[in-house]
Copies of this chain bind each other. A is one copy, B any other.
Amino acid sequence: MASGTLYTYLNNFRAYKALIAAQYSGADVKVDPAFEFGVTNKQESFLKKFPQGKVPAFESKNQEYLTESNAIAYFVSSEQFKGSTLYEQALVQQFISYADNEILPASYAWVYPSLSIAQFNKLSVDRAIEDVKGILAYLDNYLLAKTYLVGERITLADITVACSLLQLYQHVLNPEFRKPYINVNRWFDTIVNQPKVVKIIGAFEYCQKSAEFNQ
């Protein structure tokens, strides 16, 4: 079973993917407590292993180096977590891509301005909100008759998609907005309340009131 050190800042939803996957597989993954974002990842010793200086970054006990959170999560996952058949493995890949290519861009474009860490542009935010509605509608319909995204058990697909939705559910999807999406809400709630997930992300706090935009 894989084991090693994960370099990341705290509360990094990308790092959560690997840490949760390790909970399920039993992989021994420790977050480096000495890591300081903006300092450690600019040092020569870090850049020698991880030339782009990005996190999360992973060093296995056998000195194998990995960047990109999906790769690290994949490395520390059990075989079953990655999909039990060829088709299920491909579906896991599908949802991983969907999270990165569809959910995250929409999430950034809505959440970042709402947290005032990106400039507010009404057109962009309105478009992001529509995109998020489309995403939730798609997932809601997909999860109508399914408990998990792929197969009959939790997989890397559920963890990856749930982690990519964390910031949305935390900051902007207020109760009224998310109310119609019964199935995806049920699924998301199931995932974030799994004991192995709670161990990593803590007790999840849903958005009660969307952040106001600083125009």
Query: Interface residues, chain A, CB within 8 Å of chain B?
Result: 2, 51-52, 60, 64, 66-72, 74-75, 86-87, 89-91, 93-94, 96-98, 100-101, 134, 138, 141-142
A142 neighbours in B (Cβ, 8 Å): 51
A97 neighbours in B (Cβ, 8 Å): 68-71, 100
A96–B200 alpha-carbon span in the complex (Å): 26
A89–B68 alpha-carbon span in the complex (Å): 13
- 30 interchain pairs (CB within 8 A)? A2-B86, A51-B138, A52-B134, A52-B138, A60-B87, A66-B91, A66-B94, A67-B94, A67-B98, A68-B93, A68-B94, A68-B97, A68-B98, A70-B93, A70-B94, A70-B97, A71-B91, A71-B93, A71-B97, A72-B90, A74-B89, A74-B90, A74-B93, A75-B86, A75-B87, A75-B89, A75-B90, A75-B93, A97-B100, A100-B101
